[in-house]
């Protein structure tokens, strides 16, 4: 009997991927519509899937590689995030982002930097402009004395790790942002800020002559056959010796890691372009909240004009969808956060509102490794997929090529994702905890 995994559901993207809407219309999608053969088939064209494809080519330029994406490139979470490719520990379940142990955080930082170096090469190869790939660093902004205290504690943790950082006072924060909201900030130099959709489209564009990328080609079934696997899509099929699962939380839709992946959504809104001169400060900046459950804010400038992006709220949705009502409630919250920070921009409405699917594990690990003969998993990035998705794609490619590297060893040494309590306990527990932490984060 051959092994068969059928997907129970396909991704539904709530609201528009705003970053992608700012870019020129892409060329029509190439769908998989026949039967083809490949050496490696990759499911999902986000950070993990496309990075895996690029790493495979580096390891063997003659390899036949196919990437199958359910939707369009940059319409999924890869094109709807806040764009911080972070090098340092950024544990969203911790009060100050720090992990439990210094050595573990140092090792994680070294791995994230491998991902950032890989992405830097992508940016250089594809001549991405600074508005798309900006090695700007990151500021954790504090709006209250509690937030300021978080920054100071995180600073001590960074110093113990041997990392450099700089504390910014209220005046420096105001000069940067043009607003008087923040009391302090903690700057670290290693983060890159992306226009995520433009980066993902750049990465995919750079692969096109060497990799077959099929969009609007969701994989419906993975079927074992002699010498490998057959992947069925609505109009075609592909036979491949090896498969990389780079479909993040939707790995569970096929029956992998059942009840071990938490499906969390987070929400964002983007304004219409700001008229010239209404806001002082720098034209491009971004701040993550000093309290992990607070609000991320970016000011972007480039294709699409000068705009503000606000991200806030997490919800646990095991159905892997969110309702229109949840999107509207998050939007109302964003309006409040925006008004509190930018009173001078009162008349400027939001143009786009959206949510996106994060995959998180209870014990903060990725779901990585060979899950069946020749099937390699690169999923569950714990909300930090820009660095961790890139890294897990690199590692899955190396594993698929039989390589034993520092990266594969580190990712494969992780514990498996811990099993979730049964529903509705998980739903209640996760949503209550996140609501309470959001309330506690207050003005942050
Ligand atoms: C509002 C928001 C803000 C965020 N901010 C940040 C941030 O600042 N920094 C950060 O690091 N992370 C951030 N994230 C998280 C980040 O977007 C994700 O961690 C990252 O996109 C995960 O990358 P990935 O390649 O593993 O998965 P994804 O980007 O989710 O890609 C998986 C792809 O698989 C496809 N797929 C699923 N099922 C199938 C199937 N059956 N067949 C074919 N294709 C399939 C999906 O369509 C999708 O395109 C944010 C997320 C959101 C929503």
Measured in Å, residue 321 CA sits from the centre of ligand 1 at 14
Terminal Cα-to-Cα distance of the chain (whole angstroms)? 55
> How many domains, the chain?
1
Contact 342, 309 (CB under 8 A): no
What stretch of H or E contains 115?
A: helix 102-125
Tokens, residue 329? 């409630």
> Which atom of ligand 1 is the closest one to the Cα of 384?
11
Distance 360 CA to ligand 1 centre (A): 12
Nearest CA to ligand 1 atom 10: 384
Q: How confident is the model at residue 98, as a pLDDT? A: 76
Contact 2, 225 (CB under 8 A): yes
Q: For ligand 1, is residue 377 a contact (CB within 6 Å)?
A: no
3-state secondary structure of 3: coil
Cα separation of 397 and 332, whole Å?
Answer: 42
Q: Are 443 and 183 in contact (CB under 8 A)?
A: no
What is the C-alpha to C-alpha distance for residues 62 and 254, in angstroms, rounded to an integer?
A: 30
In this prediction, residue 1 carries a pLDDT of 65
The gap from C-alpha 16 to its chain's centroid, in whole angstroms, comes to: 16
Q: Which of 70, 71, 81 to mutate to test the pocket of ligand 1 (most atoms within 8 A of CB)?
A: 81
Ligand 1 centroid distance, CA of 180 (Å): 33
Are residues 293 and 314 in contact, defined by beta-carbon separation less than 8 angstroms?
yes
Q: What is the pLDDT along the chain (444 residues), one digit of tens a residue?
A: 689 999 999 999 999 999 999 999 999 999 999 999 999 999 999 999 999 999 999 999 999 999 999 999 999 999 999 999 999 988 777 776 777 789 999 999 999 999 999 999 999 999 999 999 999 999 999 999 999 999 999 999 999 999 999 999 999 999 999 999 999 999 999 999 999 999 999 999 999 999 999 999 999 999 999 999 999 999 999 999 999 999 999 999 999 999 999 999 999 999 999 999 999 999 999 999 988 889 999 999 989 999 999 999 999 999 999 999 999 999 999 999 999 999 999 889 999 999 999 999 999 999 999 999 999 999 999 999 999 999 999 999 999 999 999 999 999 999 999 999 888 878 877 878 888 888 788 888
Nearest to 317 by CA among 415, 418, 220, 434: 434
- The CA-atom distances, in angstroms, between 54 and each of 81, 117, 126, 204, 436 are 21, 13, 13, 9, 41
Expressed as residue numbers, the domain containing 317 is: 4-441
**Residue for token digits 């039989």?**
402
Residue of 42, 44, 229 best suited for mutating to test ligand 1, as the one with most atoms within 8 Å of CB: 44
Buried b (16+ CB within 10 A) or exposed e, 325-356: ebbeebbebbeebbeebbeebeebebbbbbbb
Which CATH number do you get for residue 224?
3.50.50.60
Q: Please, which residues have CB within 8 angstroms of residue 90's CB and are 6 or more apart in sequence? A: 97, 288, 292, 384
- Assess whether the C-beta atom of 390 lies below 6 angstroms from ligand 1: no
Beta-strand ranges (E) seen in 10-88 are: 35-43, 65-68, 84-85
Render 213-276 in DSSP notation, one character per residue: EESS----EEEEETTEEEEE-SS-EEEEEEEEE--GGGGGGGTSSTTT-EEEEEEEEEEPPPPT
What's the CA-to-centroid distance between 111 and ligand 1, angstroms? 19
* Residue 307: closest CA among 329, 288, 279, 266: 279
| Closest ligand 1 atom to Cα of 73 | 49
């Amino acid at each position: 009997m051959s092994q068969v995994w059928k997907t129970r559901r396909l991704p539904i993207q709530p609201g528009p991927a705003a970053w992608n809407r700012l870019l020129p219309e892409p060329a029509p999608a190439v769908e998989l519509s026949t039967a083809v053969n490949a050496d490696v088939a990759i499911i999902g064209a986000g950070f993990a899937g496309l990075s895996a494809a690029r790493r495979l080519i580096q390891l063997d330029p003659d390899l036949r590689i196919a990437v199958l994406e359910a939707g369009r490139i940059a319409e999924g979470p890869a094109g709807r995030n806040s764009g911080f490719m972070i090098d340092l520990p950024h544990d969203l379940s911790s009060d100050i982002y720090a992990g439990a142990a210094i050595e573990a955080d140092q090792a994680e930082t070294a791995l994230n930097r491998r991902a950032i170096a890989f992405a830097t090469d992508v940016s250089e190869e594809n001549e991405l402009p600074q508005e798309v790939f900006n090695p700007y660093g990151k500021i954790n902004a504090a709006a209250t004395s509690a937030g300021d205290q978080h920054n100071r504690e995180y600073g001590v943790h960074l110093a113990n790790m041997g990392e450099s950082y700089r504390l910014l006072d209220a005046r420096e924060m105001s000069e940067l942002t043009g607003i008087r909201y923040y009391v302090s900030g903690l700057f670290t130099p290693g983060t890159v800020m992306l226009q995520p959709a433009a980066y993902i489209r750049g990465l995919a564009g750079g692969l096109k002559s060497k990799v077959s990328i099929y969009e609007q080609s969701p994989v419906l079934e993975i079927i074992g056959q002699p010498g490998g696997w057959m992947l069925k899509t609505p109009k075609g099929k592909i036979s491949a010796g090896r498969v990389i699962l780079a479909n993040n939380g939707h790995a569970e839709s096929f029956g992998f890691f059942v009840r071990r992946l938490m499906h969390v959504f987070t929400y964002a809104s983007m304004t219409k372009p700001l008229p010239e001169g209404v806001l002082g400060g720098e034209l491009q900046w971004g701040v993550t909240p000093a309290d992990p459950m607070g609000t991320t804010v970016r000011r972007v400038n480039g294709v699409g004009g000068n705009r503000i992006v606000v991200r806030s709220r997490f919800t646990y949705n095991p159905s892997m969808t969110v309702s229109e009502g949840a999107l509207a409630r998050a939007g109302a919250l964003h309006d409040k956060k925006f008004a509190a920070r930018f009173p001078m921009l009162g008349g400027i409405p939001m143009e786009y509102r959206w949510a996106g699917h994060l995959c998180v594990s209870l014990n903060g690990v990725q779901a990585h490794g060979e899950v069946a003969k020749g099937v390699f998993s690169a999923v569950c990035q714990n909300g930090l997929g820009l660095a961790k998705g890139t890294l897990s794609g690199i590692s899955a490619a190396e594993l698929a090529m039989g390589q034993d590297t520092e990266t594969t060893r580190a990712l494969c040494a992780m514990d498996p994702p811990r099993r979730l309590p049964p529903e509705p306990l998980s739903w209640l527990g996760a949503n209550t905890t996140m609501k309470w932490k959001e309330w506690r984060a207050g003005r942050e």
